[in-house]
Amino acid sequence: MAQVEQSDRGFATDRLGTPSARGWLLALGTALLVLGLCASANLFLTTIATTYYVGMMMLVGGVLQIVHAFGVGTWRRASLWAVGGLLYLLAGLSVILNPLLAAATLTLVLAIFLAMAGVMRLWVAVTTTIEGRGWMVMSGMAGIAVAVIIGLEWPINTLWMLGLVLAVDLIFQGAALLAIGFSMKTSRAV
C-alpha cells in the first residue's frame, strides 16, 4: 500500500508523486463514457429508464415529506407537509404508470428551460461588459436554437430526446474526467 501525503498543489499524492485521484478520475471517466455509449445504443430504452428514475425519485420525495409531516409541531404545518407529500406521491405514480406521457411532458419542460437559459445568457452578454461575452452570446443562441428544434419536433421526439440528452451528458462527463485524469502529471513537480 502506497504512503499518501499532501502535495503543494493540494492533491493527495502517493510515494511516487502520482496523484491518487488520477486513478479514480480515469476509472470514473471510463465508466461514464461506457455508460454514455451504452445509453446511446438504445435512446428509447434510455428515455423510458430516465422517466422511471424521475418517477421513483418523486415517490421517494413524497414518502420523505410525509414522514417529515409527523415530526412537525403543529397540525396545520403537518397537514401542509402531508398534502405536499401525497401530491408528490401521486405525481410519481402517474409518471411510473404512464412513462410516455411523462417523457413528453419532461421533453417540453426541457425545451422551455433551455430557451429560458438561452435568453438569460443573451441578456447577461448584452447588459454586461465581460471579457469573452461573444462566447456567452453564442451559448445563448445555441440554447435557444436547441429549444426551438426540440419544440418543433415535439411530441414526436419524446421517444428519444431524454435518452439522447442523458447519453450525451454521460459521454461528455466521461471525456472531461478522462482528460483531467490524463492531464495530471505522473511525476512530482519540485
At 94 the pLDDT is 94
- What's the confidence (pLDDT) of residue 9? 53
Contact 32, 169 (CB under 8 A): no
Write the single-letter amino acid at 179.
Answer: A
- Identity of residue 128: T
37-45 contacts at long range (C-beta below 8 A, 24 or more positions apart)? 37/167, 37/171, 39/163, 39/166, 39/167, 39/170, 40/163, 40/164, 40/167, 40/168, 40/171, 42/163, 43/159, 43/160, 43/163, 43/164, 43/167, 44/159, 44/160, 44/163, 45/163
Q: What is the pLDDT of residues 93-120, one digit of tens each?
A: 999 999 999 999 989 998 999 899 989 9
pLDDT at 19: 52
Map residue 167 onto helix, strand or coil.
helix
Q: Which residues of the chain carry a pLDDT beneath 50? A: 1-4, 14-17, 187, 189-190
Q: Three-state DSSP class for 6?
A: strand
Outline where the chain has alpha helix (H). 20-41, 43-71, 75-97, 99-127, 133-153, 161-183
Render the burial of 13-38: b for 16+ CB within 10 Å, e for the rest. bbeeebbeebeebbebbeebbebbee
